[in-house]
Amino acid sequence: MRLIFLAALLGAALASRVSYEGYKVLRFNPTESQLRLLEKYRNSPGFDFWKEPRKYGDNLDIMVSPDRQLPFLSFLKDNNITFKVINDNVQTSIDAEIRRQAVTPKTPRAVSFDQYYRHEEINSYLQELAEKYPDLVSVESLGVSYENREMLVIKISSGGGGHRPAVLVDGGIHAREWIAPAMALYIINQLVENNAANSDLTDSVDWFIVPVLNPDGYEYSHTTDRLWRKSRSPIITITGVCRGVDQNRNFDFHWMEIGASDYPCDEIYGGEEPLSEIENRNLRDFATLHKQHIKLYLTFHSYGEYLLYPWGYTSELPSDWETLHALAEEVDAAQVAAGGNPFTIGSSTNVLYAAAGGSDDYMKGVLGIELSYTVELTNTRYGFQLPASLIEPTVTQFFEGVRVFAKYVKENF
Ligand code: 0X9
Ligand code: ZN
């Protein structure tokens, strides 16, 4: 009976999903000239560049659709480009993930870090914390998403009447990067439910945490297309409707200048206008209201193990880049001491790629938040589909870095 129920649940979960049957992910360690050759495939149909290298020695991961594999493999052979297949069939790993999600018991009122939660579950957890810890926690709505999902921000403050320096954290601007909301949730969990051990992080610093900045995309990546990145608002084109804007190309600072597309069907579509996306306007409004107090902005993404600071729109550096760099190094040392791999540190443009309209650039460039970082968590062969069993080591290791960030804010503002 139980088996039939589970099979039915799984059947429903698998129905009408985007299929990645036969898609492979190849990992390269290209030389500069090989990279130039591979770059030509970047915008070709059937190719999805999951992770980009910038400096020699970094890896490049490309997902290739079944119909493009044969010609691509012979191109690689002709050019002596070696690679490893890190995922032989993306659909198989998606199915395994769906199976795990369907059978993992959801335990209300006790969060755990061995499973990924849905948006509703995350919202309920935040509300429960507000009820249980009224002296430390309050929850506010930033507004609703395009598809009417409530976007919650949790405020963690042990007092001070809103005059203390604050940290703004978000996760999940990119739908498929599930470890990002999980990281945000872990920070919340530690600051609130383990406050006795972490009271030094909240005794003179306030926290504003938005665990899911793209709730519609996040839900869509759970129900329909595991590799969805963008928001879900529809945009009419001459060939039909395409959905979604890359919310991290949509902020109003050097919008569309570089590394963004004006074609609505592209993964890095910047939107019809800056801040076209309601989810981004919701964050903008909240951050603007509190900008005097927010000293540090952390936006979580995956994957690649990078600690990035502005700018993403230019290779020039902000005047205080040495402070940003030195703090990132301290943060990295702490997470390495906790067992993590060393992260690559630098400005987005210089160590990753140029891409304007990101939330990190906006927070610093427009709102004047001094310390602004994009954190790209994890760099495993699993790509975006980090197995749930690896959530805990990932988030606990990086939490040691978060401690260093908090200490810096506490001591310097
Ligand atoms: O491209 C992005 O938006 C981020 N990488 S991801 O693979 N998670 O999509 C990096 C953003 C870095 N910041 C800026 N370019 N402003
Ligand atoms: Zn991302």
- Judged against a pLDDT cut of 60, whether residue 3 lies above it is answered with no
Instruction: Provide the token pair at 86.
Output: 């890190």
Active site residues: 376
Beta-strand relationship, 234-237 and 240-243: antiparallel
Weakest-pLDDT range from 5-9, 232-236, 251-255, 401-405: 5-9
* Contact 358 CB / ligand 1 (< 6 Å): yes
Residue 156, beta-bridge partner list: 137, 207
Query: What kind and span of H or E run contains 377?
Result: strand 371-377
Q: From the CB of residue 363, how many other CB atoms can be counted at a distance below 10 Å?
A: 29
Rg (CA), the chain: 21
102 has pLDDT over 80: no
Position with higher pLDDT, 53 vs 8? 53
Calpha distance 128→137 (Å, rounded)? 10
Q: pLDDT value at position 398?
A: 98
Written out in words, the top-level CATH class of the domain with range 2-98 is alpha beta
More confident residue, 39 or 172: 172
Q: Is the CB of 260 under 6 A from ligand 1?
A: no
pLDDT, tens only, 226-260:
999 999 999 998 889 999 999 999 999 999 999 99
Mean pLDDT across the stretch 79-90? 95
Determine the average pLDDT of the residues in 302-311. 97
2: confidence class by pLDDT, cuts 50, 70, 90: very low
Worst-scoring range by mean pLDDT, 37-46, 128-137, 386-395? 37-46
Q: What is the pLDDT of residue 317?
A: 98
Cα(248) to centroid(ligand 1), Å: 7
Q: What does each C-alpha distance from 88 to 21, 92, 353 come to in angstroms?
A: 10, 8, 27
Helix axes 119-132, 215-223, angle to 10 degrees: 130
pLDDT category at 12 given cuts 50, 70, 90 is: low
Which residue, among 119, 98, 78, has the nearest Cα to 11 in the 3D structure? 98
Instruction: Tell me how far the alpha carbon of residue 342 lies from the centroid of ligand 1, in angstroms.
Output: 19
pLDDT bracket for residue 109 (50, 70, 90) = low
Q: Does any ligand 1 atom lie closer than 6 A to the CB of residue 308?
A: yes
Predicted confidence at residue 239, as pLDDT, reads 85
State the pLDDT at residue 1.
Answer: 40
Contact yes or no for 353/52 (Cβ under 8 A): yes
The pLDDT tens digits for 254-286 are 999 999 999 999 999 999 999 999 999 999 999
Cis peptide before 207 (omega within 30 of 0): no
Cβ contacts of 31 within 8 Å, gap of 6 or more: 56
Determine contact, residues 97/385, Cβ cutoff 8 Å. Answer: yes
Q: Judge contact between 367 and 45, C-beta under 8 A.
A: no
What SS3 state is found at 133?
coil
174 CA from centroid of ligand 2 (Å): 5
For residue 333, pLDDT over 70 is answered with yes
Q: Does position 10 have pLDDT exceeding 70, yes or no?
A: no
Residue nearest to ligand 1 atom 12, measured at CA:
348
Per-residue confidence band for 101, with pLDDT thresholds at 50, 70 and 90 = confident
Residue 403 Cβ inside 6 Å of ligand 1? The answer reads no
Q: Residue 250 is which amino acid?
A: N
**pLDDT recorded at residue 7:** 54
Is the model's pTM score more than 0.85? yes
Look at residue 107 and tell me whether its pLDDT is greater than 70.
no
| Residue 228 · residue 220 · CB < 8 Å | yes
Distance CA 373, CA 361 (A): 9
Phi, psi of 199, rounded to the nearest 5 degrees: -65, -25
Nearest ligand (C-alpha, residue 348): 1
Q: What is the mean pLDDT of the chain?
A: 93
pLDDT of residue 205 exceeding 80: yes
Q: Which of 180-189, 234-243, 382-391 has the lowest mean pLDDT?
A: 234-243
Percentage of the chain modeled with pLDDT above 90: 86
CATH 3.60.60.10 at 109-221+271-412, yes or no = no
Length reported for the chain: 413
- Largest separation between any pair of C-alpha atoms in the chain: 66
68 vs 16 pLDDT, higher one:
68
Strands (DSSP E) contained in 194-338 are 206-210, 234-237, 240-243, 294-302, 306-309
Q: Which ligand is nearest to the CA of 355?
A: 1
Residue 172's Cβ-side half-sphere holds a number of Cα atoms within 13 Å equal to 30
Domain ranges of the chain: 2-98, 109-221+271-412
Is the model's pLDDT at 8 over the cut of 80?
no
Beta strand 83-87 pairing with 137-144: unpaired
Tokens of 5: 């129920």
In sequence order, what are the residues at sequence separation of 6 or more whose Cβ sits closer than 8 angstroms to the Cβ of residue 26?
61, 62, 64, 83, 84, 85, 86
